[in-house]
Structure 1
Amino acid sequence: MNFTRLVFPGVTMIAVTYGLARYSFGLLLPNISSSFQMSDTVSGIISSLFYLAYCFTIIYSIVMTTNKGPKPMIMLAGGFAVSGMFMISASLNEWMLAAGVLLAGGSTGLVSPPYGAAIAFWIKEPLQGKANTWINSGTSLGIVATGVGAILLTPHWRYTYVLYAVIALIVLWWNYRIIPKPDDSLKVQRGLLSAKGLEGAKSMITGAILMGISSACFWTFSRSFIESSGDFSTLVLSLFWVTIGLFGITSGLGGAVIERIGLQSSYTLFAVMMGGASILLTWAPDSIPIVIGAAALFGTSNLFMCGLLIVWGIRVFESNASLGIGVPFLMLSIGQVIGSILAGSMIEGIGYAVTFAVFGAISILGSFLRTA
């Protein structure tokens, strides 16, 4: 299959599931919390459901992708995103909101492993790393779209989610038309760990969990932090989010960067950058240049690290591409469950600045892990 024919719809589906259905929640959270009068602790618990749903659906997706091929899981992921966002938009209380969050969050777990398998099926091996990192960069495009949506529709978060759900429906149809069914000659391999990957698995799992813990605080509470610290307009708050997405698009170059400087150097550099973004935000959260700088640093580093986990996972689980993506992303999501709940509780107890500094330090400490 032509590289762009598979990658373009893949980018848009990742944009829908990760960008619109999952990460947009942090941008819209202040208005949602105001509507339901939720505390930071409750907001953190509900936000954690995105990651909790991911933990269960990615396991299901790994198994079903192995048995049925990638297309059914990609279609199910799109269906979850559409229904979850419609439910969020129609929420009458926190319980209905939480149910919508579970569905929307589940879409991301369903979608990651099958694209790894689809790339393994239909993209030539020399281009597979680039295809994976470019599809992963769709998250950034989704984040940019949510920022633009917030500028145009704030504070109408319900209408925003309706619009996102309609977009998701269109993208679902496009993927249905493009993604072929595997024929009998294309079987997803069932291999587990490669011999050379046994040592790397422990470090990969630890690194993914630490990255998840550290990033959850920024994704969930960064807008609330800066909104409470300075007299920013809606435009500036939305541009903060758009900046994360715009700089995250550079994660599409992740495969080339890893080839040039190596997996270890890439991991160490971007883990430090990601931690630095949280710490920078604590320095002057009422300063527009600092706030935008922190967003740029986080967007570049966090989305790059997600792409790096794909490359690292496939090297560890080299005989099963869907497992190679699924395991590190599962560990990432477990870390985000922990981080989201912990961050909400810490913010209520010790405030935003100290909490963000602690979570930034976690990422920097994690940078000392060895990738091989």
Structure 2
Amino acid sequence: MKLPSSTSFALLGAALIAISYGLARFAFGLFVPPIRAELELTPYVIGLIGALPLVSFVLATVVAPLAAVRLGARNTALLSGGFGTVGLAVISQASGGVSLGVGVFACGICTGLMMPALTAAMQALVKRSLHGRVSSVMNAGTSVGVVIAVPTILFMAGAWRYAYASFAVLAVIGMVATWFFIPSVSRVTPSTAAPPPPITAMQWMRLFRLSLFAFMMGFVSAAYWIFAPDLVVSLGNLPSGSTGWLWLAVGVAGLGGAVVADLADRNNPPITQALMLMMLAASLALLAASPGQLAIAAFSALVFGLAYMSLTGLYLMTGIRLLPGRLSMGPVLPFIAVSLGQATGSPMVGLLVNDFGYAGAFSMFSAIGIVVAMLSPFYPRSLEQEADEGAEEETGLQAAYDYQLQDEKGEPFRHESIPVKDS
């Protein structure tokens, strides 16, 4: 088997993420209106079912690093694809809330196993300096999966069972590609290599702050992922098929998330996070304000897609930088936090929809997003970024001191001319 290059691996990883994240997980919200109508489920029940794949994602993510070490990257990815295939097939045959819940729960396990499996393969195939960029490209695969799901709702409106059956077939194709192109390895560590340094208290504090922001972003975004299509159908009286345009906009805009996350990681992550969270909150408010205008609803989806994918990519890269050399923890913790936030937010949205309606529930979640965005100055930076900023600040202070001495003496200042005096 010829091992793929870094670029080929990134594209393959993006394709597998498209199946596991885009189709097995996030496409569910697109089909909520026809599923809820056919199975006669309330918004609160849909909210509970929507939380199940997020719970199973967290459970799978906890054991996934160990599975990647014991089973290897290829077998772990195959296990992920197997759960995805079964889950998608069960959803296609669901007869009620219980069977639907079983299917989405299995899909959550698929999602939780895939990224750690790909991360294990990346450690063996990709140079460490490219880990952040390759991870960002793979993360953008979620948008690709969302886009793939769109034609099924546009041209097969109401035929959600056939759509999920076709997703199961794609999952099988993904398993075949995994068998041929993902190496059957886990991270290779030389016997003489020094163990990674222990995680310091400062690193734990930064990870805690990162996880809090990721949790709150997941909490706010749950409203859009689960209930946005149902909102425009129930409140805006748009046909079910038109909701495909929302997910198309989310997927297309989300492709830009990889670029934004990469630029933000190398420039100013706190400011970028604040901007993207404000955009996320604005997309919820905009959709709640004009659910019957398809053009405005699609624009809100564009804003949401760019904001969400940029934020997940940013959290992924920040986690890698906060814990260099620990890919089983750094990028995994923020993803767990996002899923926990979504698992918490999904039933909360359903409860608020029952009590206050769609507009009220989305407005409340938008306000929460704005508050979290205002706290972005507390977003953690990596040690390298803080060191660079400290060096720049020290250089600026030295220049000001030099200027002051020059002004007092009337002649240029030279560092070597300063005598050292004993106190």
In structure 1, what residue type is equivalent to 2:354? E
Question: Higher relative CO (CA 8 A, sep ≥ 6), structure 1 or 2?
Answer: 1
Distance 1:49 1:140 in 2: 21
Q: Tell me the CA shift for residue 242 of structure 1.
A: 0.8
Partner of 2:334: 328
SS at match of 1:351: helix
Distance 2:182 2:66 in 1: 19
Q: Does the 8 Å CA contact 1:112/1:325 hold for their aligned counterparts?
A: no
Distance 1:258 1:193 in 2: 25
Q: TM-score, normalised by structure 1?
A: 0.95
Q: Does the 8 Å CA contact 2:83/2:109 hold for their aligned counterparts?
A: yes
In structure 1, what residue type is equivalent to 2:9? L
Partner of 2:119: 116
Q: Does the 8 Å CA contact 2:153/2:244 hold for their aligned counterparts?
A: yes
Q: Tell me the CA shift for residue 174 of structure 1.
A: 0.6
Q: Does the 8 Å CA contact 1:217/1:340 hold for their aligned counterparts?
A: yes
RMSD of aligned Cα (Å): 1.9
SS at match of 1:324: coil
Q: Return 178-187 or 226-235, whichever deviates more.
A: 178-187
SS at match of 1:318: coil
In structure 1, what residue type is equivalent to 2:212? T
Q: Does the 8 Å CA contact 2:233/2:240 hold for their aligned counterparts?
A: no
Are positions 1:267 and 2:267 aligned together? Answer: no
Are positions 1:154 and 2:178 aligned together? Answer: no
* Percent of aligned pairs with the same amino acid: 27
Partner of 1:105: 108
Residues 1:95 and 1:129: Cα distance change in structure 2 (over 3 Å): same
Q: How does 1:25-64 map to 2 (within 5 A)?
A: 25-64=28-67
Structure 2 runs not aligned, ≥5 long = 381-423
Q: Does the 8 Å CA contact 2:236/2:290 hold for their aligned counterparts?
A: no
Partner of 2:414: none
The counterpart of 1:291, out of the listed 287, 297, 306, is: 297
Q: Structure 1, residues 113-153: CA drift from partner, whole Å, max 9, x if none?
A: 22223223211233221111110000000001111111122
Partner of 1:303: 309
Partner of 1:371: 379
SS at match of 1:285: coil
Partner of 1:219: 225
Distance 2:162 2:197 in 1: 45
Q: Tell me the CA shift for residue 252 of structure 1.
A: 2.1
Partner of 2:390: none
In structure 2, what residue type is equivalent to 1:198? W
SS at match of 2:199: coil
Q: Tell me which protein shows more helix as a share of its residues.
A: 1
Residues 1:289 and 1:121: Cα distance change in structure 2 (over 3 Å): same
Partner of 1:132: 135
Q: Structure 1, residues 316-366: CA drift from partner, whole Å, max 9, x if none?
A: 222311211221111111111110010001000001111111112222222
Q: Does the 8 Å CA contact 1:243/1:296 hold for their aligned counterparts?
A: yes
Q: Return 35-44 or 183-192, whichever deviates more.
A: 183-192
Q: TM-score, normalised by structure 2?
A: 0.84
In structure 1, what residue type is equivalent to 2:152? G
